[in-house]
Chains A and B, each alone.
Chain A
């Protein structure tokens, strides 16, 4: 049996929870991470929990039902075929019915509940129950063993302890809600002190607080998403019982210039605006653009803005690095995200050791 010999930063993690402030490209990064993990040859499940059908849009497939469906195949790696990426859109209602069926054989009641609009009711009556059902589904998928050693479309049956999926990636709620979302046990404990919900919550909590789960943060080099990332990491560490493992920080949508700037730190130094304008005026003339002081001044202004942005981004980066988690950089995809772009991002993640 061929087992991956590559060391990645998250070996041993079975449940990758991907969060981020709105607008940072959380779903895209979750998709790229799923592909990158599947490159190890084992099937990966990509779950979404917010009913936005973002994963379906990302992989350009019809809206996903409550069913694990193959949406992509990871690229081959070292001559080894890539694993499949499955996707699942989880909603609390379906998860509740499945839960009733699985644990209590209450399919009948589940149907009656649905008919009466009671499932919606039950998931809203107990705040936290919805979150528990969603995280419970993720924990179940991450721990699911294949019957008789077969695996969900993948090949390596006994690799990784006979789990159906090599890993599960969850496109989770945004950073502002993440620790509450994952801290299911305390969410329901105020309500359900005993009983089956409590038992289920404890089981789910054991998976989420174990080293098998890591919470990754997607951010841009802007003040607000960076601050939310730092707050999110702190909150995870403060969750009772040893906290929840914080994962990597994925700096998304980096422009080529920013990436290049990182490699050859500041070849050009800016002087005063008047001096730069004068130098630019000479350069423009030499380039055949005529003697245009106004154009030179405008271009100097653009450079100054760029420098200000770069300075503020450097400060943000410094804060992220100080958080002590591995940081990964992902390039800005200019022409919209398609499968080729996802492969490119997945490749970048593998090169940096994220998967």
Chain B
């Protein structure tokens, strides 16, 4: 049964998105705990079984997800997922390859390994070894706030350039603030590339230039303070690191800018994932606004884990009234079962109604953002079939919530 929809918002049909061969990158973003990674895997599987060659890049180390794809664990190398059902040769515009050979690879980002690879590919072996052994580099590559986001975007760029896949589905890091991953690459790029870093390390280099004298006096206090805070030994490590990396710095900013452009390019689609809860939808609003401000191609909002009843024709009120009627009768087994079922149904109907109300509120604020609903599953996803069940709701004829 279809419900009247609010004016403006078209439904988001994920199948149309993945069947469109021009879609090359799908970025799933949203606050933590909304099922982002599971959705990313379900989108990837659905696309593969509709004939696309897909790679799913996740940052979530959840073992269960790897196992649901038949892999013992995920690592920094794309692994082939077995058990993909091959789609037959599709009609024109269906999106599949003529031979119907869809495939799915999955990988999990190892940020340190990815960073090491950049260093190794950009420096001669001696210099690379020197950088990799530097304590400052080791901290930077394993715990710098933003390294994960930066490396996720770096990996995305690599996968795109490899051109082995025609669809990359990426799940974004659980950022502390909405869409950190958009800022982080530039922040890290700016940091590594920046004059600030070099000024700090060698203020004397620029000392001779007029106009910088004042600044230099400021830096005297500043480097003094920094040395006091972090110690001169760390400052020396930074210094060594910077001189070893000197030739690579320009490259960092360039790469950050490449990924940023890639994200804005046609062929990229952002899916904002939310749970049908007040906080998650408020976060989703922020995400949508931020993506719009940055000119990022937003495909729509997916409200995940939506409750709906197959027996929506029986309202909560009538269900509760019927339960009350039964309570006045004998307490046979079927009566007890009936009371439980009717109460449960009323609760489900109320929950569904409250979720719809929350989703409507989002649509009022963002009338042009297409919305899709993904039904809640009775328990967690354990295998490809579980992902398929979620994927089934991506079809255009799937009943809206």
Q: Give the B-binding residues of A (Cβ under 8 A).
A: 21-24, 50-52, 96, 100, 104, 106, 108-110, 112-113, 115-118, 121-122, 124-130, 173-174, 176, 180, 187, 190-198, 222-225, 227, 255-257, 267-268, 276, 279-280, 282-284, 286-289, 295, 298-303, 305-306, 308-309, 311-312, 334, 336
Contacts and interface: CB of A to CB of B under 8 A. Distances in A.
A282 B322 CA distance: 13
B33 A22 contact: yes
Contact of A127 (B143, B229, B337, B338): B143
Interface string B155-170: 0000000000000000
Task: Give the interface centre of A109, A176, A194, A276 by most chain B CB atoms within 10 Å.
Answer: A109
Contact of A286 (B233, B237, B318, B338): B338
B389 interface: no
A288 B278 CA distance: 37
A224 B62 contact: yes
Nearest to A115: B218
A176 B60 CA distance: 10
A198 B230 CA distance: 9
Interface stretch (B116-124, B253-261, B342-350): B342-350
Contact of B341 (A129, A173, A283): A283
Instruction: From A22, A193, A276, name the one whose CB has the most chain B CB atoms within 10 angstroms.
Output: A22
Given A124-B145, A282-B334, A100 B278 contact: no
Contact of A23 (B31, B62, B176, B225): B31
B323 interface: yes
B34 A23 contact: yes
A122 B143 contact: no
B138 to A, nearest CB: 7
B314 A289 contact: yes
A279 B191 contact: no
B136 interface: yes
A237 B64 CA distance: 23
B265 interface: no
A221 to B, nearest CB: 11
B174 interface: yes
A194 B233 contact: yes
B380 A284 contact: no
A283 B33 contact: no
B313 A295 contact: yes
Interface stretch (B42-50, B77-85, B291-299, B325-333): B325-333
Given A22-B33, A286-B334, A302-B348, 9 more contacts: A100-B229, A109-B224, A113-B222, A191-B135, A192-B233, A194-B231, A196-B231, A301-B310, A306-B344
A284 B338 contact: yes
B335 A286 contact: yes
Interface residues of B, number: 75
A224 B145 contact: no
A289 B233 CA distance: 80
Contacts of A288: 322, 325
Given A51-B177, A112-B221, A303-B341, A287 B322 contact: yes
Contacts of B333: 279
Contacts of A196: 228-229, 231
A301 B63 CA distance: 30
B191 A193 contact: no
Contacts, number: 211
B182 interface: no
Contact of B230 (A21, A126, A298): A126
Given A192-B234, A197-B229, A336 B278 contact: yes
Q: Which of B64, B138, B278, B340 has the most CB of A within 10 A?
A: B340
B143 A187 contact: yes
Contacts of A224: 62, 64, 380
A126 B234 contact: yes
Contacts of A22: 31-34, 174
Contact of A223 (B64, B280, B323): B64
Contacts of B348: 302
B378 A283 contact: no
Interface centre among B233, B323, B344 (most CB of A within 10 A): B344
A192 B230 contact: yes
B71 interface: no
Given A224-B62, A227-B64, A268-B337, A109 B225 contact: yes
Contacts of B145: 124, 127, 130
B106 to A, nearest CB: 17
Nearest to A256: B347
B120 to A, nearest CB: 21
Contacts of B340: 267-268, 303
Nearest to A191: B234
B196 interface: yes
A118 B228 contact: no
A122 B226 contact: yes
Interface in B224-251: 224-226, 228-234, 237-238
Interface string B88-126: 000000000000000000000000000000000000000
A21 B275 CA distance: 14
A213 B88 CA distance: 60
Nearest to B278: A336
Question: Which of A115, A280, A287 has the most chain B CB atoms inside 10 A of its CB?
Answer: A287
A280 B338 contact: yes
A191 B325 CA distance: 72
Top 8 nearest A-B pairs (CB, nearest first) are: A22-B32, A23-B33, A283-B338, A195-B231, A298-B311, A279-B334, A287-B322, A22-B33
16 contacts: A52-B176, A104-B225, A106-B225, A108-B221, A109-B225, A121-B196, A130-B145, A176-B174, A190-B135, A257-B344, A279-B333, A295-B314, A298-B309, A302-B311, A312-B379, A334-B354
Interface string B247-283: 0000000000000000000000000000101101000
